[in-house]
Homo-oligomer: A and B are copies of this chain.
Amino acid sequence: MTNNVSATPLHDRVIIKPAPAEQKTAGGIIIPDTAKEKPQQGIVVAAGPGKKDEPVTVKQGDTVLYGKYAGTEIQIDGQELLIMRETDILAVLS
């Protein structure tokens, strides 16, 4: 799998390839089944330059957690992706 996509997000937006719903990461994230909003995980495939004096801090290849309803679905080059603002990203997994 290559994460290169033919699109550049504007400003503080980030394009993410969501992990399959059942996927377990190396870090062992399991999304608990509760009433609260469940964060999802995915891999950053492209990040914008950020806003004035606030560069984006995630980078291509980062595995990130984000809110279940964050972002907008897009399909680029046959991949189903999400585009969201960096502030919708909760954490970077390592």
Copy total for this chain: 7
A91 touches B9 (CB 8 A): yes
A75 touches B30 (CB 8 A): yes
The distance from the CB of A45 to the nearest CB of chain B, in whole angstroms, is 11
A75 touches B6 (CB 8 A): no
Is residue A77 contacting chain B, with contact meaning CB distance below 8 A? Answer: yes
A37 touches B91 (CB 8 A): no
Contacts A7-B27, A92-B7, A94-B8 given: A74-B65 contact, CB under 8 Å? yes
Contacts A13-B90, A83-B90, A91-B15 given: A74-B7 contact, CB under 8 Å? no
- Cβ contacts under 8 Å, A32 to chain B: 73-75, 80
